[in-house]
Chains A and B, each alone.
Chain A
Amino acid sequence: GENVEQHPSTLSVQEGDSAVIKCTYSDSASNYFPWYKQELGKRPQLIIDIRSNVGEKKDQRIAVTLNKTAKHFSLHITETQPEDSAVYFCAESTGGGNKLTFGTGTQLKVEL
Protein backbone atom coordinates (compact mmCIF):
# COMPACT_ATOMS: atom_id res chain seq x y z
CA GLY A 1 0.00 0.00 0.00
CA GLU A 2 0.91 3.67 0.08
CA ASN A 3 3.48 4.39 2.74
CA VAL A 4 6.14 7.00 3.43
CA GLU A 5 8.80 6.31 6.04
CA GLN A 6 10.50 9.39 7.50
CA HIS A 7 13.66 9.49 9.61
CA PRO A 8 14.72 10.64 12.08
CA SER A 9 11.69 11.41 14.22
CA THR A 10 13.70 13.98 16.19
CA LEU A 11 16.84 15.86 15.22
CA SER A 12 18.88 18.29 17.28
CA VAL A 13 21.64 20.39 15.71
CA GLN A 14 23.78 23.33 16.69
CA GLU A 15 23.08 26.66 15.05
CA GLY A 16 25.04 26.92 11.81
CA ASP A 17 25.23 23.16 11.27
CA SER A 18 23.39 21.27 8.51
CA ALA A 19 20.32 19.11 8.99
CA VAL A 20 19.22 16.22 6.79
CA ILE A 21 15.85 14.46 6.87
CA LYS A 22 15.21 11.35 4.77
CA CYS A 23 12.06 9.78 3.41
CA THR A 24 11.45 6.49 1.62
CA TYR A 25 8.31 5.89 -0.40
CA SER A 26 6.57 2.84 -1.79
CA ASP A 27 4.51 3.94 -4.82
CA SER A 28 6.81 3.68 -7.83
CA ALA A 29 4.30 5.72 -9.85
CA SER A 30 4.69 8.77 -7.58
CA ASN A 31 6.24 11.76 -9.33
CA TYR A 32 5.67 14.66 -6.93
CA PHE A 33 7.30 15.11 -3.53
CA PRO A 34 6.60 18.19 -1.37
CA TRP A 35 8.07 19.14 2.00
CA TYR A 36 6.06 21.01 4.63
CA LYS A 37 7.19 22.92 7.72
CA GLN A 38 4.88 23.20 10.71
CA GLU A 39 5.76 25.63 13.48
CA LEU A 40 4.24 25.10 16.91
CA GLY A 41 0.52 25.82 16.84
CA LYS A 42 0.55 26.73 13.16
CA ARG A 43 -0.59 25.19 9.90
CA PRO A 44 1.75 23.10 7.71
CA GLN A 45 3.29 25.27 5.01
CA LEU A 46 5.02 24.19 1.82
CA ILE A 47 8.73 25.00 1.83
CA ILE A 48 9.98 23.15 -1.26
CA ASP A 49 8.85 20.47 -3.67
CA ILE A 50 10.40 18.34 -6.39
CA ARG A 51 9.07 16.46 -9.37
CA SER A 52 10.51 13.26 -10.74
CA ASN A 53 12.03 14.81 -13.83
CA VAL A 54 14.78 16.41 -11.71
CA GLY A 55 17.19 14.99 -9.15
CA GLU A 56 17.81 18.07 -7.04
CA LYS A 57 16.25 21.45 -6.33
CA LYS A 58 17.59 24.31 -4.21
CA ASP A 59 16.04 27.39 -2.67
CA GLN A 60 18.53 29.42 -0.65
CA ARG A 61 19.45 27.33 2.41
CA ILE A 62 17.05 24.51 1.56
CA ALA A 63 17.54 21.73 -0.96
CA VAL A 64 15.76 18.51 -1.82
CA THR A 65 17.30 15.51 -3.57
CA LEU A 66 15.41 12.64 -5.20
CA ASN A 67 16.60 9.13 -6.04
CA LYS A 68 13.80 7.45 -7.99
CA THR A 69 15.66 4.17 -8.36
CA ALA A 70 16.02 3.77 -4.62
CA LYS A 71 12.67 5.47 -3.96
CA HIS A 72 13.94 7.95 -1.45
CA PHE A 73 14.21 11.72 -1.17
CA SER A 74 15.86 14.00 1.35
CA LEU A 75 15.58 17.53 2.71
CA HIS A 76 18.82 19.39 3.37
CA ILE A 77 18.96 22.58 5.43
CA THR A 78 22.30 24.35 5.60
CA GLU A 79 23.46 27.03 8.05
CA THR A 80 20.59 26.25 10.39
CA GLN A 81 19.04 29.05 12.43
CA PRO A 82 16.78 28.97 15.52
CA GLU A 83 13.78 29.86 13.34
CA ASP A 84 14.28 26.59 11.46
CA SER A 85 13.08 24.77 14.61
CA ALA A 86 9.78 23.11 13.66
CA VAL A 87 8.24 19.82 12.58
CA TYR A 88 8.98 18.89 8.97
CA PHE A 89 6.80 16.52 6.92
CA CYS A 90 7.64 14.86 3.64
CA ALA A 91 4.91 13.62 1.32
CA GLU A 92 4.46 11.76 -1.94
CA SER A 93 1.67 12.06 -4.46
CA THR A 94 -0.44 8.91 -4.61
CA GLY A 95 -3.69 7.76 -6.17
CA GLY A 96 -2.55 8.82 -9.60
CA GLY A 97 -1.55 12.25 -8.33
CA ASN A 98 -4.91 12.89 -6.71
CA LYS A 99 -3.79 12.94 -3.07
CA LEU A 100 -0.75 13.16 -0.82
CA THR A 101 0.53 10.56 1.63
CA PHE A 102 2.56 12.12 4.44
CA GLY A 103 5.47 10.89 6.50
CA THR A 104 5.18 10.89 10.29
CA GLY A 105 7.24 14.05 10.73
CA THR A 106 10.65 15.12 12.08
CA GLN A 107 10.94 17.45 15.06
CA LEU A 108 13.98 19.64 14.30
CA LYS A 109 15.51 21.64 17.12
CA VAL A 110 18.25 24.15 16.39
CA GLU A 111 20.20 24.93 19.53
CA LEU A 112 22.15 28.11 20.18
Chain B
Amino acid sequence: DADVTQTPRNRITKTGKRIMLECSQTKGHDRMYWYRQDPGLGLRLIYYSFDVKDINKGEISDGYSVSRQAQAKFSLSLESAIPNQTALYFCATGTGGNQPQHFGDGTRLSIL
Protein backbone atom coordinates (compact mmCIF):
# COMPACT_ATOMS: atom_id res chain seq x y z
CA ASP B 1 0.00 0.00 0.00
CA ALA B 2 1.57 3.24 -1.13
CA ASP B 3 -0.59 4.97 1.49
CA VAL B 4 1.75 4.04 4.34
CA THR B 5 4.89 6.02 3.59
CA GLN B 6 8.19 5.78 5.41
CA THR B 7 11.11 8.18 5.09
CA PRO B 8 13.97 7.79 4.60
CA ARG B 9 14.12 4.43 2.82
CA ASN B 10 17.79 3.97 3.63
CA ARG B 11 20.07 5.65 6.15
CA ILE B 12 23.68 5.15 7.14
CA THR B 13 24.91 7.00 10.19
CA LYS B 14 27.47 6.88 12.96
CA THR B 15 27.33 5.72 16.57
CA GLY B 16 26.02 8.41 18.91
CA LYS B 17 24.01 10.31 16.31
CA ARG B 18 20.34 11.15 16.78
CA ILE B 19 18.10 9.72 14.09
CA MET B 20 14.44 10.16 13.29
CA LEU B 21 12.42 7.84 11.10
CA GLU B 22 9.10 9.12 9.88
CA CYS B 23 5.86 7.45 8.94
CA SER B 24 2.75 8.97 7.44
CA GLN B 25 -0.49 7.35 6.32
CA THR B 26 -3.54 8.25 4.27
CA LYS B 27 -5.57 5.20 5.29
CA GLY B 28 -7.38 7.05 8.06
CA HIS B 29 -6.41 4.41 10.62
CA ASP B 30 -6.25 5.35 14.29
CA ARG B 31 -3.57 2.87 15.26
CA MET B 32 0.06 3.04 14.25
CA TYR B 33 2.97 0.73 15.06
CA TRP B 34 6.76 0.62 14.78
CA TYR B 35 8.51 -2.74 14.30
CA ARG B 36 12.09 -3.81 13.96
CA GLN B 37 13.05 -6.75 11.70
CA ASP B 38 16.27 -8.71 12.18
CA PRO B 39 17.19 -11.95 10.35
CA GLY B 40 15.82 -14.96 12.19
CA LEU B 41 13.94 -12.86 14.74
CA GLY B 42 10.87 -11.87 12.81
CA LEU B 43 9.07 -8.59 13.48
CA ARG B 44 9.35 -7.21 16.99
CA LEU B 45 7.16 -4.40 18.28
CA ILE B 46 8.95 -1.26 19.49
CA TYR B 47 6.08 1.16 20.20
CA TYR B 48 2.45 1.59 19.26
CA SER B 49 -0.13 4.32 19.46
CA PHE B 50 -3.91 4.31 19.42
CA ASP B 51 -4.30 8.06 19.01
CA VAL B 52 -2.38 11.30 19.45
CA LYS B 53 -2.60 11.13 23.23
CA ASP B 54 -1.88 7.43 23.57
CA ILE B 55 1.61 5.89 23.36
CA ASN B 56 2.49 2.36 24.47
CA LYS B 57 5.76 0.48 24.78
CA GLY B 58 6.26 -2.72 22.86
CA GLU B 59 8.59 -5.57 23.68
CA ILE B 60 11.84 -3.79 22.71
CA SER B 61 11.35 -0.08 23.48
CA ASP B 62 14.69 0.56 25.24
CA GLY B 63 16.84 3.00 23.29
CA TYR B 64 13.89 4.30 21.23
CA SER B 65 11.28 7.02 21.60
CA VAL B 66 8.26 7.97 19.51
CA SER B 67 6.04 10.93 18.78
CA ARG B 68 2.50 10.88 17.40
CA GLN B 69 2.29 14.35 15.87
CA ALA B 70 -1.11 13.79 14.27
CA GLN B 71 -3.43 10.94 13.49
CA ALA B 72 -1.57 10.43 10.23
CA LYS B 73 2.02 10.77 11.50
CA PHE B 74 4.10 8.64 13.83
CA SER B 75 7.86 9.09 14.12
CA LEU B 76 10.51 6.90 15.73
CA SER B 77 13.67 8.38 17.22
CA LEU B 78 16.98 6.90 18.26
CA GLU B 79 18.46 9.46 20.64
CA SER B 80 21.99 8.08 20.53
CA ALA B 81 22.32 5.36 17.92
CA ILE B 82 24.39 2.24 18.58
CA PRO B 83 25.52 -0.46 16.10
CA ASN B 84 23.12 -3.13 17.40
CA GLN B 85 20.23 -0.92 16.31
CA THR B 86 21.20 -1.67 12.72
CA ALA B 87 18.07 -3.28 11.29
CA LEU B 88 15.11 -2.92 8.96
CA TYR B 89 12.36 -0.80 10.52
CA PHE B 90 8.69 -1.00 9.53
CA CYS B 91 5.78 1.25 10.31
CA ALA B 92 2.29 -0.25 10.22
CA THR B 93 -1.27 1.00 10.62
CA GLY B 94 -4.46 -0.66 11.67
CA THR B 95 -7.92 -0.30 13.10
CA GLY B 96 -7.36 -2.73 15.96
CA GLY B 97 -10.10 -5.02 17.13
CA ASN B 98 -8.45 -8.06 15.60
CA GLN B 99 -8.00 -6.54 12.18
CA PRO B 100 -4.95 -6.79 9.88
CA GLN B 101 -2.13 -4.30 9.98
CA HIS B 102 -0.81 -2.60 6.84
CA PHE B 103 2.90 -2.02 6.45
CA GLY B 104 5.04 0.66 4.86
CA ASP B 105 8.01 -0.14 2.63
CA GLY B 106 10.50 -0.06 5.49
CA THR B 107 13.62 1.92 6.39
CA ARG B 108 16.96 0.17 6.22
CA LEU B 109 19.13 1.69 8.96
CA SER B 110 22.86 1.04 9.30
CA ILE B 111 24.82 2.39 12.25
CA LEU B 112 28.57 2.31 11.95
With A43-B90, A44-B90, A97-B97 given, is the CB distance from A103 to B42 under 8 Å? yes
- B93-110 to A contact mask, C-beta < 8 Å, 1/0: 000111111111110000
Interface centre among A6, A49, A100, A102 (most CB of B within 10 A): A100
Residues of B within 8 A of A80 (CB): none
Count class of interface residues, chain A: 20 to 34
With A43-B103, A43-B105 given, is the CB distance from A102 to B98 under 8 Å? no
Q: Decide: B40 and A99 in contact? CB cutoff 8 A.
A: no
Q: Decide: A98 and B42 in contact? CB cutoff 8 A.
A: no
* Contacts from A to B (Cβ < 8 Å): 6, 9, 31-32, 34, 42-46, 49, 51, 89, 93, 97-105
Cross-chain contact of B43 among A9, A46, A89, A93 (Cβ < 8 A): A89
Residues of A within 8 A of B97 (CB): 97
Task: Identify which of residues 10-61 in chain B touch chain A, using a CB-to-CB cut-off of 8 Å.
Answer: 31, 33, 40-45, 48, 50, 58
Q: Tell me the complex Cα distance, A97–B50, Å.
A: 12
Interface centre among B48, B100, B103 (most CB of A within 10 A): B100
